Amino acid sequence: MSEKSTISIDHDPGDAPCLTWEIAARAQLAIGDKIIREADPPLGRRRGRPAKPEVDRKELVSLRLSPDVLAWLRGTGPGWQTRVDDLLRVKMVASQAAE
């Protein structure tokens, strides 16, 4: 016959620290042995690459293109949005030089 293990609490649960948003943000969520969400890194340390300086950041825009133009751009492979940005930059610099 198996015995049930019991856990005795030698301290007052009221002595536990208050749950804050910072503590909750660092928490790891698990159901049984399955981890649902990994714990975040300690506050102040961000994951991923560092943010670019504001002058180098790109802005998300909505642009309507003809289906054949869009198909051609996408057909050039991954990175086509960057190539479009490069093409427009070349056109912009040439236009500024002509002024």
pTM of the predicted model over 0.75: no
**pLDDT of the residue at 64:** 96
Per-position b or e across 51-70, b if 16+ CB within 10 A of its CB: eeeeeeeeeeeeeeeeeeee
3 domain residue, yes or no: no
51 domain residue, yes or no: no
Region class of 79: left (phi > 0), else alpha (psi between -120 and 50), else beta: left
63 domain residue, yes or no: yes
Q: Report residues of the chain scoring pLDDT below 50.
A: 1
DSSP letter at 13? Answer: G
11 domain residue, yes or no: no
Residue with tokens 């560092």: 50
34 domain residue, yes or no: yes
53 domain residue, yes or no: no
Per-position b or e across 83-92, b if 16+ CB within 10 A of its CB: eeeeeeeeee
81 domain residue, yes or no: yes
Structural domain total, the chain = 1
78 domain residue, yes or no: yes
> Which domain range does residue 70 map to?
17-46+59-98
